[in-house]
A and B are shown apart, each in its own frame.
Chain A
Amino acid sequence: MKEILADLDAWRDEGRRVALARVVNVEGSGPRDPGAAMAVSDNGDVVGSVSGGCVEGAVVGEALDILQTGERRMVSFGYSDDEAFAVGLTCGGTIHLFIEPLDW
């Protein structure tokens, strides 16, 4: 999260609403460790990353949805899920993300 703090501060100063996605668990081979973070602003700007680029697109969609509904939730991407074929986590592992509005 450290590397996106400056962007988060700037967005907050501009009064943007922001969703924060963090990797909380990785099973098998995963590109980023727990703690990897990305953030999405309400106009769709993105900073940071949670994988090697495999699932970021899908995370943006989830994050924007969470900004709409305000409901924080766990989202998983993995080889074993149907989702994996849709978004393509090529490393063969499963990553679990916690996505929430940055309202704290």
Chain B
Amino acid sequence: MSELYDRLRDAITDERPVALATVIEGRNAGAKLVVEPDGDVLGTLGHLELDRIVSRDAVGELAAGRTGVRHYGAEGQARETDVSVFIESFSPPPIMLVFGAVDFTAALARAGKLLGFNVVVADARSVFATVKRFPMADRVMAAWPDEVFDAYGYRLGPHDAVCILTHDPKFDVPAVQRAVATDVGYIGVMGSRRTHATRLERLREVGVDEKSIDRLMAPIGLDIGSRTPEETAVSVCAEIIANRTGHSAPSLRDGEGPIHRPSAEG
């Protein structure tokens, strides 16, 4: 009796993408399909053709990460409304790669967890890249950027984030080079405007093009006057959200002058 629920729960728990289609209005209300990205389906809505059409749509909705109601004829016809089906997409959590085991990293990793990210902290220096220092991270890697991107790069998409906090060209440059080669939605790079100007020279030297450079949010974060690691983490996470939704918010990148300037609060 709980075969559908078990299949759904196992996929969600194992962080595999899965869609649940439920008839909410029309014949067989409550009937369900559990649909996996390869088109593997469990359950039935009571009509073979309706099952086929809804499964196909569910695979598409799942790929797009969308959840919503679609309408069909009783036999799956388009432009008819006998049956309303709620298709719910369950995507694995988005990934946040944080480069640099620095002061700001622990706060950002905590904030990333709060937003539901699968947080990976990486630093080439094994003394700093320890689980003890970052117990909140899902994974801590003592590794160079290349190794991290070999493991995660192909999985990165519009909902994922790369935050480069090292502000050391030795790590920054290879991390940015690999990040811009992915489809990741957000690339934030920490450092003052002067640090970033120097970094840009190095990036151009190694052949990073202007279109890629335009993707960088640097200096990282929104211009909200944050100072502490925790406040900075909030400003970075808010910038990640604004970047994803396309809503306007004042990014430090788009302003001028010192990042840390006198505030109204004194």
Residues of chain A at the chain B interface (Cβ within 8 Å): 1-2, 5, 8-9, 12, 22, 24-25, 33-35, 72-74, 98, 100, 102-104
Max chain A CB contacts within 10 Å: which of B2, B9, B13? B9
Query: Does B24 lie within 8 Å of A104, measured CB to CB?
Result: no
Kindly identify which residue among B5, B25, B32, B88 contacts A35, using a CB–CB cutoff of 8 Å: B88
Separation in Å of the B43 CB from the closest CB of chain A? 8
With A22-B86, A74-B24 as known contacts, state yes or no: A104 contacts B1, CB within 8 Å.
Answer: yes
Separation in Å of the B8 CB from the closest CB of chain A? 8
Q: How far is the CA of A9 from the CA of B13 in the complex (A)?
A: 12
Separation in Å of the B157 CB from the closest CB of chain A? 19
Query: Does A24 lie within 8 Å of B5, measured CB to CB?
Result: no
Residues of chain B at the chain A interface (Cβ within 8 Å): 1-2, 4-5, 9, 12-13, 22, 24-25, 29-30, 32, 67-69, 86, 88-90
Separation in Å of the A101 CB from the closest CB of chain B? 8
Query: Does A104 lie within 8 Å of B5, measured CB to CB?
Result: yes
Residues of A within 8 A of B4 (CB): 104
Query: Does A103 lie within 8 Å of B1, measured CB to CB?
Result: yes
Separation in Å of the A22 CB from the closest CB of chain B? 7
A5-B12, A8-B9 given; name 14 further pairs at CB < 8 Å: A2-B12, A5-B13, A8-B5, A12-B2, A22-B88, A24-B86, A33-B67, A34-B67, A34-B86, A35-B89, A72-B29, A73-B29, A74-B24, A104-B2
Query: Does B24 lie within 8 Å of A98, measured CB to CB?
Result: yes
Query: Does B12 lie within 8 Å of A35, measured CB to CB?
Result: no
The 3 closest A-B pairs by CB, nearest first: A24-B86, A98-B24, A35-B67
Q: What are 5 pairs between A and B in contact, CB < 8 Å? A: A1-B88, A34-B86, A98-B22, A98-B86, A102-B5
Q: How far is the CA of A80 from the CA of B29 in the complex (A)?
A: 26
Closest-by-CB residue of B relative to A98 is: B24
